[in-house]
Amino acid sequence: MMKKEQKQVEAMALKPIGEDERKDWVSLAFVQAGICVCVPAFLLGALLAEAMPIWPAIISGSLGYLVVVIGMVITGMMGCDLGAASCTACEAGFGRSGARFIVSTIFAVNMIGWFGIQNGVCGEAFSNAMYAMTGIEIPVIVSNTVWGIIMLLTAVFGVSALEKLDKISIPLLMIIMLYGTFLAFRTYGTGGLHTATAQTMSFMGGVALSFNFTAVGTITAADYTRFQKSRKDTVKSVFYGVFPMGVVTLVMGILLTKMSGEYDVSMVLIDVGLPLLGITALVISTWTTNSTNAYSAGLNIVMALKLNDNRRREATLISGIIGIILCDLGILGHIEGVLSLLSYVVCPVGGVIIADYWIVGRGKKENFRPKDGVNLAGVIAWALSAVIAYFIGIEFTGILVGAAAYLVLERLIPSTSRDGSDHTAV
């Protein structure tokens, strides 16, 4: 009975995923697609549309998503090899204590914060749409709480629940988005597409902006790819899940902004008199993304608080409830900028673990040896590259600088991932 329950509700957090628990790449591709399609993804299109002409906006944004895919494949294959979540994959480059007190804490704060913020966007829009459709005024705090709990429960049940949700919702959402774009063409015409736009952002600035919107997901890809059967399947699920939906959402955001001045397809549907479809699109796009925020937060809470590994469900529930409460109190609206700045701190984590696993450890699972205590080379490289990336103003430089700094420092403080190294923990 217990085994049956564990299969229905994923219980374990950081224990390596066994071969019998691995999933086909198509299932995980839907989960990856669900992560990409959200209101901020449409906002990316709007920001690019306002800063450059259509084609440079589309091409630069698409290249940004390609960089995201490359990063997710690299970190995702680590997760697949090890069967480990992203915070666990940091235990060699940062040391167990470094991974626990630095990495998992940063990841948990980031995920909980964004869960609450996106929950608030969904709740407010739902209340507004219900009032427009029925005249019934639902308090925003009620909408926030109800939809927050629904999204949270999906995460509590685990990756299998996310997979089921996304297999149904992503095709439905795609149909609604395409229909909304068609209605925008019919309602507003194509005149806005031919309006000249002064280029106020460089092409590489557009690439960097596109990456920034998915920076944290790039580093935490292992939370989901640990369920893949092989590296090849990891490449397939990431590419086919992230790139098509990312680019489609980006292009829609650009076109809708040019035509109607509104980047969000759900708002366009509401504006043209189809509020039910609009709110459906908004809820689905938030639900598929926000559930993964709560899921990843739960994994990191388990590590940060050193909970028993079978407490993933409880940790996920706690993290989501915190996000909902902070959202209802209105606190998160004042710290959204702080959460955005966290990407400067998250990206160097990717640089350290990529350098340790793929270069020092030569990409071999057997060379991944978690280190007790703190790996000073990793922590120093992380801190240094976070500062440099912040002053440069481009988040993904943190990955490159972090990797380079770690490789230099690792020569002075050899990693346990090195072939033939002294594996005594310190």
pLDDT score of 187 more than 70:
yes
With CA atoms as reference, report the closest residue to 417 among 360, 376, 374, 365: 360
Helix, strand, coil distribution of the chain in percent, nearest 5: 75, 0, 20
Which pLDDT tens digit goes with each residue over 47-100? 899 899 999 999 999 999 999 999 999 999 999 999 999 999 999 999 999 999
pTM of the model: 0.91
Res. 9 pLDDT band, cuts 50 70 90: low
| End-to-end Cα spacing for the chain | 42
Please give the pLDDT value at position 5: 41
Q: Is the pLDDT of residue 125 over 90?
A: no
Write the burial class of residue 340 (CB in 10 Å: 0-12 exposed, 13-18 middle, 19+ buried): middle
Tokens of 255: 């076109």
Q: Does residue 300 contact residue 108 with C-beta atoms inside 8 Å? A: yes
SS3 per-residue string spanning 184-217: HHHHHCCHHHHCCCCCCCCHHHHHHHHHHCCHHH
Which residues, including other chains, have CB under 8 Å from residue 172's CB and lie 6 or more apart? 280, 284
Question: For the chain, which domains are there?
Answer: 19-412 (1.10.4160.10)
Residue 2 has pLDDT above 80, yes or no: no
Question: Is-contact 287 151, C-beta < 8 A?
Answer: yes
Structure confidence at residue 3 (pLDDT): 44
Residue 8: the pLDDT is 53
CA distance linking residue 330 with residue 269, whole number of Å: 27
Residue from 52, 114, 36, 37 nearest 257 by CA = 52
The Cα 181–Cα 288 span in angstroms is 21
Provide the pLDDT for residue 236.
97
pLDDT tier for residue 336 given thresholds of 50, 70 and 90 = low
Phi/psi of residue 23, nearest 5 degrees = -120, 160
Q: What tokens appear for 11 in the block? A: 């219980």
CA angle 405, 406, 412 (to 5 degrees): 105
